[in-house]
Structure 1
């Protein structure tokens, strides 16, 4: 991987080189000791907050007043509780209600006191962590985040003796719930130590139950395999669809079970579909960079698609980081006069990283430098390092509530295809990940016109292709407000869809899925800008899946159906190598 900006140059003295290597080793060890989280970044945030709070008497008085108000509210509630008839005590409305504690047992003594004290502490720290004069925004976000994490640890729901729901289950089941919980904990610990998937994942075998859409691998290189899917209709549209998934995940998020596979749905709509399956990188691939993923990934796949379907423009589709790469590649193609693309479809893909959402909590100079030092030793970022950050962003749903359910209540939920896919993790090449974090997140080069492809800068403003852009309402990886910023970067026609669900579940939104809704509106080329919030307020909500909208959008930009192409193009060097899903997706 390339050295970070502070590394000595090749002409530096041996002493300087040795000093830098020593620092790199020390930082890598520090990263391992602290679960890849930079303590310095956290300490700086707390010092910034505490030192500015110390010279903000108005804010301190406001927090003191809040604490006094909370004390009075709590005393009033307890007085009403004890003065009421015992049969009516549970009906007394507490000062603070929270859906996490909706069970009636939480309104019984002494658990109501524990709960209200905890919720008031949460409310107090929420107010304390924001609005302090002079605190840097990033530091304010970090203080709020880590205060929330610490309070999550202290929640009375997490402990047997302070959780009335668990105590009631223990009495009713004579402790059988705790026995099952211990067995669940032992099983989970054993699986984690042995690097085994969670229970039930074995029911979703890649190539049999998921990633099962028929097709052939027609290209393999050091970065990816390219899958061409077999047609399921007698005729197909002449313009093929090339899907570029993110390499932070296995591609088959878009080809899950037959009933919720976006790839299978698209094939059924009469399209010749190609999909990239990225290699799961190891130490040997640590030197792969963003340019490699562009040249050997997107551009190599585009060459192969054009060989199979010559003379036809391509509907290019990118998901998450694959969508960011596709936007970069599309701008480079336009710059170089390459007109092989018919349209762009970008799903939960950021192109402006000025407001990247909650992931920015883990991305600053201190944090990135720490990761670079650790990746220098391994050549890649481990999947568990990425998973840990995502889990902390949703610590209640992904950590604490699951632990209470499985280990205290003894209940284990059933596995589904999306959960099994999520457990089938991937790694990130060191060089690529460093470039991605620095050039896109830290420096925001892409939206600023500083990003270079082939040594020359590109601009998204050059893209005039019609764009189908999808954001998801509760996305914590690529917040939809950030995805919407594409409207600021190109004058092209943009059909923007805001769909219910999160980063993955919002995209896996098959027809017939209950409780799905979306909003859709097209800004014509050169049209006036409308803010994201104004857009959301003005565009009506529609019920159901957004997939048919995308299919109709593609059809309006496609020619009349005709005979399907052959599988591969052997005469042009793209022979069939093996059946889908190929070999790269099976790498662990």
Structure 2
């Protein structure tokens, strides 16, 4: 009976409260903005900040999905100073934004802004999906601001693709230039339809799972939050998309060492910072081999490849990720942070713009244990605006 009542309530059930971890806008440019999550009441435990780089074509709040099921919330509760890029929604005038504009200039400004708060002048960078590809390319050219690289399901090579999407996008009939000329920005509806070719039975599988587990209110909240995110997509700036498809996807230029960023060659062997590459065994969007290839190509001595069960989205939203992956990520940064310090008091140095308490972030389910630390770091700069 509970299952039937919950299914009937789907039509009137309010939207899940996504992206609720308190944050401030500390930089804004064109359509994108940089968020800084407010620290826990005790203050941050590490002086080196963390910058979250989501996919360019998805909303950033997948990293802050629900209270108690939020990667950002857990990292804040662990004592990290966490920033996140919100790429925003491109307008028609953004059809000419290039790959260099986004990966070099926009991403570079976000990392430099966060790095200014660290005595080392560097930031830990976490990239998810296409955001991980952007982070990898940027780090290969700009090692000076990247303290470490942590990649979740981030494609570096594109040679292991297969299925209907592969057959369509690699055929001569798929003319990228014509699509960009016709649309300007590539519509998110077109890309969403293309991703459905990766797993044509996905919607049927979701419906079956929904019926089977509808008796659980917790499941329904998570399901609706993911559906909200999954259908709140972003169009791809035209010029950037054309280069991404022609050079990275079709030409495999990053893995082959023939890609460039603002005229500078992108050599993966130039990446020497500590690196963790996380792949997922059942990822139907980014095959594990396409992400894992990075580990053999970089020169970092401090590097590790982590293979976990689960799919592409589970990397940032699942209970398994919350229990196993997020604590491991926090530990990765904690061990490599030369500026760890004891947790500050509630009125201490790490507060941002008189920021309010973190709304119980430290009590989130599966919250990472607070890291122990060492000497003090300087006061974080004041934020400029509240995030919505």
When the two structures are superposed, what TM-score results if normalisation uses the length of structure 2?
Answer: 0.79
2:250 pairs with 1:442: yes
Task: Give the 3-state SS of the residue equivalent to 2:197 in structure 1.
Answer: helix
Number of the residue aligned with 1:145: none
Number of the residue aligned with 2:158: 353
Q: How does 1:258-297 map to 2 (within 5 A)?
A: 258-297=67-106
2:292 to 477, 480, 484: 484
2:167 pairs with 1:382: no
1:251 Cα shift?
0.6
2:202 to 397, 418, 421: 397
Aligned-residue CA RMSD (Å)? 2.8
Q: How does 1:293-372 map to 2 (within 5 A)?
A: 293-309=102-118, 311-334=120-143, 339-358=144-163, 359-369=165-175, 371-372=176-177
* 4+ aligned runs moved over 6 Å, structure 1: none
Distance 1:467 1:417, change over 3 A: same
Number of the residue aligned with 1:203: 15
**Structure 1 Cα separation of the partners of residues 178 and 387 of structure 2:** 37
Q: How does 1:122-161 map to 2 (within 5 A)?
A: none
2:43 pairs with 1:242: no
1:474 Cα shift?
1.1
**Structure 2 Cα separation of the partners of residues 305 and 280 of structure 1:** 22
1:436 Cα shift?
0.5
2:38 pairs with 1:230: yes
User: Are the counterparts in 1 of residues 156 and 294 from structure 2 also a CA contact under 8 Å?
Assistant: yes
2:232 pairs with 1:427: no
**Structure 2 Cα separation of the partners of residues 308 and 342 of structure 1:** 13
Give per-residue Cα distances to partners, 1:478-518, cap 9 Å, x unaligned. Answer: 11121111123113232222222211123323xxx3xx489
Task: Give the 3-state SS of the residue equivalent to 1:372 in structure 2.
Answer: helix
Give per-residue Cα distances to partners, 1:410-436, cap 9 Å, x unaligned. Answer: xxx954211221111111111111111
2:61 to 216, 227, 252: 252
1:306 Cα shift?
2.7
> Hey, which of these two has a bigger chunk of helix by percent?
1
When the two structures are superposed, what TM-score results if normalisation uses the length of structure 1?
Answer: 0.53
**Structure 2 Cα separation of the partners of residues 567 and 210 of structure 1:** 22
Number of the residue aligned with 1:221: 29
User: Are the counterparts in 1 of residues 94 and 237 from structure 2 also a CA contact under 8 Å?
Assistant: yes
Number of the residue aligned with 1:549: 328
1:377 Cα shift?
2.4
Structure 1, unpaired ranges of 5+: 1-176, 178-183, 185-197, 407-412, 519-543, 569-573, 582-588
1:235 Cα shift?
3.5
1:366 Cα shift?
2.3
Structure 2, unpaired ranges of 5+: 212-218, 354-380
